[in-house]
Amino acid sequence: MNPCRFRPSWFFAAVFGVALALGAAPTPARAATPAGDRPNVLFIIFDDWGWQHAGAYGSTWVKTPNFDRVAREGALFKNAFTSNPKCSPCRATILTGRNSWQLKEAVSHNGYFPAGFEVYPDLLERAGYTIGLTGKGWGPGDFETLAKRTRNPAGPAFATATTVPPATGINRNDYAKNFDLFLAQRAKDKPFCFWMGFHEPHRQYELNSGVRLGKMLKDVTVPPYLPDIAPIRGDLADYAIEVEYADAMIGRALASLEASGLAENTLVVVTSDHGMPFPYVKGQIHEDGFHLPMAMRWPKTIKPGRVIDDFVNVRDLAPTYMEIAGLAPHTQMTGRSLAALLRSPASGWVENRDVMLIGKERHDIGRPNDWGYPVRAIRTKDFLYVHNFHPERWPAGNPETDFGNVDPSPSKEIVKAMGGYFYELSLGKRLPDELYDLRRDPAGVYNLANDLTYAATLESMRTRMMTMLKEEQDPRALGQAAIFDTYQYTGPRTKGYDTWLRLQEEKITGQKSETPLPANDRKASRKKKAGAEN
C-alpha cells in the first residue's frame, strides 16, 4: 500500500498539530474517582442497524427484547446520531471523540486510520483498564501502513474465530461466548472496557430467510423511499432476522454480567454505526442514514425508564468513558461527555442539546479519479438542511459502476429496474441544496429547497451550519477542500470500475490499451489487504 501523498501545509499543521503532538501522550491525568469505583464499559455496536427497528422505538415486526430491556432498565435516546453514516468514519469518530472531518484520512470509508490520534481503548488501558474486542472493530481500511498500529484501534481481538451453528445458513460469530472467555481471563482487580462488534445486520442475507423463520410480509413496515411490493418486504424481513440474531447476543451478555456480579457497575451502551443497508439509507445524508438507535444501562447510576430527547453524537462516547473512569477527556476530543446527562434523573430535553452536524467525503469508489461525493448537513429539532458540494456527480456512484455506494441487494436491483420516482430518489443526481421539514416528513423524502415559503429557513440553517463547521476547523468550510481528494482509497473496487475507467481513458486519448485487466477488475488483490466488508 502506498503511503498517503498528503504533505501538510502550515494551516493543516496548525489544525492537527495538537493531536499529533499528543500522539505519544503519557497516561491521562486521573480525576478523584477511587479505583474500586471505576465502572466497567460494555460497548455493543450493530453493523447497519436502522434506528426505528427496535421495539423500544415502536417497531412490531423487528423483535428486539434485549435492546428493549437495556432501554427499560436504563435510558433510551430518541435523537442519537453519527456524524458520517458509513462504517469506517463512524467508528473512527467513536474511538477518537472527533467528528469525521476532523480526522484527516479517517474521514473516508476504506481509508487510512492516520497516526496522531489517540483512541479511548488505548487511553483506558494505560489508565489500568483491561481492554478487549470481538467481532468488527474499526474498519474496513488500513491502520498499519500509515499509523503503524499493531492492533485494531478498537482493541486487541479476542477469540473472533468462535462460531455457532448458523440459524440462516450463514456462519456467525458467537460474540457472547467470546465475551465470556474475556471475562474469565481478565484481571479481576481491574475494570474492563469491551467492544462487542456485531457483523449483523450487514449484508449478505439468506434470501427469504425472514419468511422461512416465521416473518409475515404483511407485518413489515416499508419506508416511503422504497416501493411497497412483496420482494421489498421480503428483503426487509430477511434484514430483521439478522437484527434479531444480534439482539439475542445482548441478552446473553447481560446474563454473563449478572452471573459474574458485574452488572451493577457496568455501563452497557448499545447502538449502531448507521442506518440499514438499503437504497437511500446507508452511506447517504438522509435522516434514516445517520439517525441511530441507542440505549444505555448502568444500574448504579442511570435511573431506569428514562427517555432522552437531547441530541447526542457517537463522538460523545469517548469523553463519556473517560469521565466516568475518573480521567480528564483527552484534549483532542471535541465531543461532549454525557456523564452529567446519565446521572440526571430527568427525561425529555435534559440539557437542551438540539443541533447536530453531519457530513461525508468519499465512501466506496464508483466515480472518475476516485472522487467522493462531499456533503455537509445540519439537523435541528424540526429541519434537516443538506448541501451537496458537487451536484454534478452521482451521489450513489456512477451508473456505469453499478452505483457502488449502495450495497448489492434485491431492493437495489428492484429500484434500478423500476426507474422513475424511486430510482431518482435513491440513485439520481441531486440538487445543490436539500431541506426537509421533519415534522411533516419524518423520513425526509420531500425536498423543500426550492419552495419560497422555506427560503428564510434554508438560508438561516446554511449560515448556522457554515459557522459551526468553521468553528470545528472543517477544511471544506475554510477553503481547503482540495485536501480531501488527496486521501487514498485502500479497499476493493466496485465490479466493473477498472474496465469502465480504461474505456474512459481510451475515449479521451483515442488509443486502445493493450494491457489486459486482471481478473475481476483487480478486486481480489484489493480484498486481501482491505477486507471484503463495506
Q: How confident is the model at residue 173 (pLDDT cuts 50, 70, 90)?
A: confident
Q: Give the CA distances from residue 17 to residues 35, 399, 412, 440, in Å, rounded to whole numbers and listed in that order.
A: 33, 40, 43, 44
Phi and psi angles of residue 2, each rounded to the nearest 5 degrees, phi first: -70, 145
Coil vs helix vs strand at 225: coil
Report how far residue 131's alpha carbon sits from residue 125's, in angstroms, rounded to the nearest whole number. Answer: 6
Q: How confident is the model at residue 158 (pLDDT cuts 50, 70, 90)?
A: confident
Query: Both 254 and 273 in a single domain?
Result: yes
- pLDDT, one tens digit per residue, over 240-260 is 999 999 999 999 999 999 999
Q: How confident is the model at residue 20 (pLDDT cuts 50, 70, 90)?
A: very low
Name 226's Cβ contacts closer than 8 Å, sequence gap at least 6: 232, 278, 279, 280, 411, 415, 422
Report how far residue 40's alpha carbon sits from residue 128's, in angstroms, rounded to the nearest whole number. Answer: 11
Closest CA to 15 of 81, 101, 97, 78: 101
| Residue 30 scores a pLDDT above 70 | no
Task: Find the CATH number of the domain harbouring 102.
Answer: 3.40.720.10
Query: Both 179 and 254 in a single domain?
Result: yes
- pLDDT, one tens digit per residue, over 224-233 is 999 999 999 9
Left, alpha or beta for 133 (phi > 0: left; psi -120 to 50: alpha)? beta
Q: Count of CB atoms within 10 A of residue 7's CB?
A: 8
Closest CA to 149 of 165, 133, 163, 138: 138
* Residue 438 placed within a domain: yes
* Residues pairing with 132 in the sheet: 194
Query: Both 306 and 343 in a single domain?
Result: yes
SS3 for 340-392 is HHHHCCCCECCCCCCEEEEEECCCCCCCHHHCCCCEEEEEECCEEEEEECCCC
Report how far residue 94's alpha carbon sits from residue 85's, in angstroms, rounded to the nearest whole number. Answer: 12
DSSP code, position 185: H
* Residue 180 placed within a domain: yes
- pLDDT, one tens digit per residue, over 464-478 is 999 999 999 999 999
Query: Both 111 and 254 in a single domain?
Result: yes
Query: Both 43 and 150 in a single domain?
Result: yes
* Residue 142 placed within a domain: yes
* Residue 71 placed within a domain: yes
Left, alpha or beta for 188 (phi > 0: left; psi -120 to 50: alpha)? alpha
Average model confidence (pLDDT) across the chain: 88
Tell me which of 172 and 487 has the higher pLDDT.
Answer: 487
From 315, 331, 354, give the residue that closes a domain: 354
Tell me the three cell numbers of residue 402.
453499478
Query: Both 340 and 375 in a single domain?
Result: no
Of 93-102, 257-266, 510-519, the poorest mean pLDDT is in 510-519
* Residues pairing with 378 in the sheet: 357, 385
Task: Find the CATH number of the domain harbouring 418.
Answer: 3.30.1120.10
From 354, 376, 411, give the residue that closes a domain: 354
Q: Give the CA distances from residue 53 to residues 237, 239, 327, in Å, rounded to whole numbers and listed in that order.
A: 11, 10, 35
Tell me how many domains the chain contains. Answer: 3
Q: Count of CB atoms within 10 A of residue 110's CB?
A: 26
From 295, 321, 354, give the residue that closes a domain: 354
Q: How far is CA 161 from the centre of its chain?
A: 23
Please tell me the predicted confidence (pLDDT) of residue 146: 82
| Residue 6 scores a pLDDT above 70 | no
| Residue 27 scores a pLDDT above 60 | no
Range of the domain at 335: 37-354
Report how far residue 92's alpha carbon sits from residue 80's, in angstroms, rounded to the nearest whole number. Answer: 17
Query: Both 270 and 308 in a single domain?
Result: yes
Report how far residue 31's alpha carbon sits from residue 33's, in angstroms, rounded to the nearest whole number. Answer: 6
Query: Both 381 and 271 in a single domain?
Result: no
Query: Both 309 and 435 in a single domain?
Result: no
Residue with cell 500500500: 1
What pTM was estimated for this model as a whole?
A: 0.88
Residue with cell 468513558: 321
* Residue 232 placed within a domain: yes
Coil vs helix vs strand at 258: helix
Please tell me the predicted confidence (pLDDT) of residue 446: 98
Of 326-340, 381-395, 501-515, the poorest mean pLDDT is in 501-515
Please tell me the predicted confidence (pLDDT) of residue 365: 84
- pLDDT, one tens digit per residue, over 292-323 is 999 999 999 999 999 999 999 999 999 999 99
Q: Is the dihedral of CA 199, 201, 203, 205 positive or negative?
A: positive
Q: What is the separation, in whole angstroms, between the first and last Cα of the chain?
A: 19
Query: Both 376 and 294 in a single domain?
Result: no
Tell me which of 505 and 70 has the higher pLDDT.
Answer: 70
* Residue 2 placed within a domain: no
* Residue 3 placed within a domain: no
* Residue 22 placed within a domain: no
Tell me the three cell numbers of residue 190.
481491574
Query: Both 340 and 379 in a single domain?
Result: no
Query: Both 371 and 350 in a single domain?
Result: no
Please tell me the predicted confidence (pLDDT) of residue 499: 63
| Residue 207 scores a pLDDT above 80 | yes
